[in-house]
């Protein structure tokens, strides 16, 4: 198996075997950096960073230079043609004709997918809004693997802003893929988004249990939890054990504590403020029994959530994470450009439930409700059209293919009404029995009654009465 000419938009684009192959090559790059100077000679990387970056941008550029390649860059939307109204798709096509690979960071969620769809060369997502940051996750996993030898069965605690932290969202799926158990401790109001949780449970198996910290936890200086995800091959099943089992798990120790800063730059987009005191990791916290042998990790930059006193602690790993970003990204670039083959396993991910979700194919005017989604922000819609997968029927849930946000439409209809007669062109409540009966290829969804009626549909009895049950024979 090869990664040549492929893109990395989300962490799901790589199997566990492929990730291990990247890590094996990264080990080789780390041991003999000076010998890699001809690996990508003659290749050009376009570095497009339209949000601030230090580690990611410089480590990618350093990686390409150490491989013998060249770098062209753009670091401000205001000095590109995007500021003149150029579409992301057009920009991707143009830059793809100048470079052999594109690395992009963009504030709009799903922007990296659009670039990958149109560039014609491999594209690496260096962070798209609050969506994902897959190469940071590779650095995180590489650090855990280097320090612990393996990831399966470990207990990894996620601390801080779990709502807007794109590194968190990529890491959650990667940890589940590798069979780790995940402990969640978020700042109030910054819990993991529901669409991330639903994807985690449905596609990665395992169980998620909500948890309320007890007085016993506080008295024994144990880690306070919001929730815990237990991998499918864990010997403990949450449905079979009481809350006390959480405390037993914690007494055995947390293998890694992953700290994140509050992503304040994303609060404004949602009109939110920090709803509670942001938790701080310092030496006092780390004296807890659960953290005796814990790796202290952080994607950086930090603000006030990680005390500087922790830097001297041998458990701190965050500067190693940053340093190891260079060999990891060297390996990734070499593999995507086809300059190295590596030892990539063809074994499928046994921990993931591969689900072939049907596409929502109707152009009903429905849009992604996420205001930060590229399909919403790119208002001209010259290339980008809203696109969704039908990920559930009860309740009916669509997932945007760009930002992966899920949402539940209010009303549904069928494109196959009775003999095409407009008098039977009806729409129904999404929680009615019709939703399950309409075939996926015929399904039409609406966000409001006015939207349905503007398109010529009439309300059925359930819409008028507010009753979702079957009310008699009506055509689909």
Domain holding 110: CATH number? Answer: 3.40.50.1370
Of 66, 22, 48, 170, the C-alpha closest to 103 is 48
Bridge partners of 281? 306
pLDDT of residue 475: 40
Same domain, 285 and 168: yes
pLDDT of residue 462: 73
Would you give the end-to-end CA distance of the chain in angstroms?
46
Same domain, 101 and 195: no
Burial letters 53-87, b for 16+ CB under 10 A, else e: bebbbebbbebbbbbebebeebeebeeeebeeeeb
pLDDT of residue 358: 94
Same domain, 141 and 252: yes
Number of domains, the chain: 3
Where in the sequence is the domain holding 458, given as residue range(s)?
359-465
Same domain, 189 and 227: yes
Domain end (from 249, 283, 314): 314
Same domain, 252 and 400: no
In a domain, 476, yes or no: no
Same domain, 374 and 426: yes
The one-digit pLDDT tens for each residue of the chain (476 residues) are 689 999 999 999 999 999 999 999 999 999 998 899 999 999 999 999 998 889 999 999 999 999 999 999 998 776 576 766 788 999 999 999 999 999 999 999 999 999 999 999 999 999 999 899 999 999 999 999 999 999 999 999 998 888 888 899 999 999 999 999 999 988 878 888 888 898 898 888 878 877 665 544 444 545 567 788 888 766 555 444 445 445 555 667 899 999 998 876 555 555 455 555 677 888 888 888 788 899 999 998 888 889 999 999 999 999 999 999 999 999 999 999 999 987 776 666 665 667 889 999 887 778 899 999 999 987 655 678 889 999 999 899 999 999 999 999 999 998 887 555 556 788 999 988 888 888 898 899 998 899 898 888 889 877 766 655 544 444 44
Same domain, 235 and 332: no
In a domain, 212, yes or no: yes
In a domain, 470, yes or no: no
Same domain, 212 and 277: yes
Domain end (from 280, 303, 336): 336
In a domain, 103, yes or no: yes
In a domain, 1, yes or no: no
Same domain, 148 and 295: yes
In a domain, 2, yes or no: no
Same domain, 113 and 165: no
In a domain, 193, yes or no: yes
In a domain, 341, yes or no: no
pLDDT of residue 407: 92
Same domain, 155 and 249: yes
Domain end (from 304, 336, 368): 336
pLDDT of residue 188: 79
Same domain, 151 and 272: yes
pLDDT of residue 281: 87
pLDDT of residue 470: 46
Q: Which residues neighbour 128 within 8 Å (Cβ) at sequence distance 6 or greater?
A: 104, 105, 106, 107, 108, 109, 110, 111, 112, 113, 166, 374
């Amino acid at each position: 198996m090869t990664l040549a000419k492929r893109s990395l938009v989300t962490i799901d684009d790589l199997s566990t075997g492929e990730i291990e192959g990247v890590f094996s090559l990264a080990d080789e790059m780390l041991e003999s950096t000076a010998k890699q100077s001809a690996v990508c000679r003659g290749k050009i990387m376009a570095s497009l960073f339209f949000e601030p970056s230090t580690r990611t941008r410089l480590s990618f550029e350093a990686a390409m230079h150490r491989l013998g390649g060249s770098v062209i860059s753009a670091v401000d939307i205001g000095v590109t043609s995007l500021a003149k109204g150029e579409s992301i798709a057009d920009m991707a096509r143009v830059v793809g004709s100048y470079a052999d690979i594109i690395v992009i960071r963009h504030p709009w969620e799903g922007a990296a997918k659009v670039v990958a769809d149109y560039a014609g060369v491999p594209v690496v997502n260096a962070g798209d809004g609050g969506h994902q940051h897959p190469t940071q996750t590779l650095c995180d996993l590489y650090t855990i693997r280097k320090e612990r030898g393996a990831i399966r069965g470990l207990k990894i605690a996620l601390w801080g802003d779990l709502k807007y932290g794109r590194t968190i969202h990529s890491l959650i799926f990667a940890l589940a893929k590798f069979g780790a158990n995940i402990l969640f401790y978020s700042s109030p109001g910054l819990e993991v988004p529901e669409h991330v949780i639903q994807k985690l449970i449905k596609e990665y198996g395992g169980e998620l249990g909500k948890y309320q910290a007890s007085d016993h936890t506080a008295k024994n200086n144990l880690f306070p939890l919001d929730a815990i995800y237990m991998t499918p091959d864990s010997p403990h099943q949450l449905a079979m054990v009481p809350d006390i089992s959480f405390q037993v798990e914690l007494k055995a120790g947390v293998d890694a504590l992953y700290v994140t800063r509050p992503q304040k730059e994303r609060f404004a987009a949602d009109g939110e403020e920090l709803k509670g005191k942001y938790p701080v990791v310092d030496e006092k916290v780390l004296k807890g029994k659960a953290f005796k042998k814990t790796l202290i990790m952080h994607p950086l930059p930090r603000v006030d959530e990680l005390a500087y006193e922790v830097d001297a602690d041998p458990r701190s790993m965050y500067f190693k994470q940053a340093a190891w970003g260079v060999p990891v990204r060297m390996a990734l670039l070499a593999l995507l450009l086809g300059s190295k083959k590596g030892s990539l396993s063809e074994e499928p991910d046994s921990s993931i439930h591969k689900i072939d979700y049907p596409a929502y194919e109707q152009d009903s005017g429905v849009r992604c409700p996420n205001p930060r989604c590229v399909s919403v922000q790119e208002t001209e819609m010259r290339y980008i059209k809203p696109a969704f997968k039908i990920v559930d029927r009860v309740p009916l849930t669509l997932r945007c293919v760009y930002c992966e946000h899920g949402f539940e439409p209010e009303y549904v209809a069928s494109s196959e009404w009775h003999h095409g007669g407009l008098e039977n062109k009806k729409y129904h409540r999404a929680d009615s029995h019709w939703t399950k009966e309409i075939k996926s290829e015929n399904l039409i969804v609406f966000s409001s009654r006015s939207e349905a009626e503007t398109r010529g549909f009439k309300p059925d009895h359930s819409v008028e009465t507010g009753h979702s049950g079957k009310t008699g024979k009506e055509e689909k």
